[in-house]
Amino acid sequence: MDRFVVISGCSGGGKSTLLSELKRRGHAVMEEPGRRIIAEELQGSGQALPWINLAAFAQRAVEMSLCDRDRAKKVSGVVFFDRGLIDAAAALEHVTGKPILQAYYAERYNPRVFMTPPWPEIYAGDADRRHGLQQAIEEYERLLVAFSSLGYIIEVLPKIGVAQRADGILRSLKLA
């Protein structure tokens, strides 16, 4: 769906900050499934935390991403996704070794996906992001392959201020 725009890329590369800026400008945003799952799991059993059971976490992310797509269909205009189904399916495929990505080929987003590259100067771990920069870079490289294999046009965002990044995305989508 052309109005569903994914912002993906390296963990700690500024995605959530960028999505906050787009939301501040009045655009609809679907927040990152991973952070929501972690919050739910910390309140519940904790069995699907990424540092406990990455496969269960990724499966929940796939399910949540599908629900997010359904919710987004009820929103008019462009909807920006902080990660999404492709990210989740790529993670599940990586951890299980089972071919999963192609099963979601029909669940399309805008052909252009915006990727935040590794940015060591701003990367920081936190209570939810317990992996290091090297693991984040490996994930980024897997995502480049995943999106490319599904025919998406990848636009790697420059390492510039958040307002300039948002301006660039909106210009690229002809929304500015």
pTM, entire model = 0.90
* Phi, psi for residue 47 in degrees, rounded to 5: -75, -15
Whether the Cβ atoms of residue 37 and residue 45 lie closer than 8 Å to each other: no
Per-residue pLDDT reduced to its tens digit, 37-83: 888 878 877 788 777 788 988 899 999 899 999 999 999 999 999 99
Mean pLDDT, residues 25-30 taken together = 96
143 pLDDT higher than 90? yes
* Side chain identity, residue 133: L
pLDDT of residue 123: 58
All structural domains of the chain with their residue ranges: 4-172
Domain spanning 4-172: which superfamily? P-loop containing nucleotide triphosphate hydrolases (3.40.50.300)
46: left (phi over 0), alpha (psi -120 to 50) or beta: left
pLDDT of residue 1: 64
How many Cβ atoms are within 10 Å of 28's Cβ, its own excluded? 18
Whether the Cβ atoms of residue 68 and residue 33 lie closer than 8 Å to each other: yes
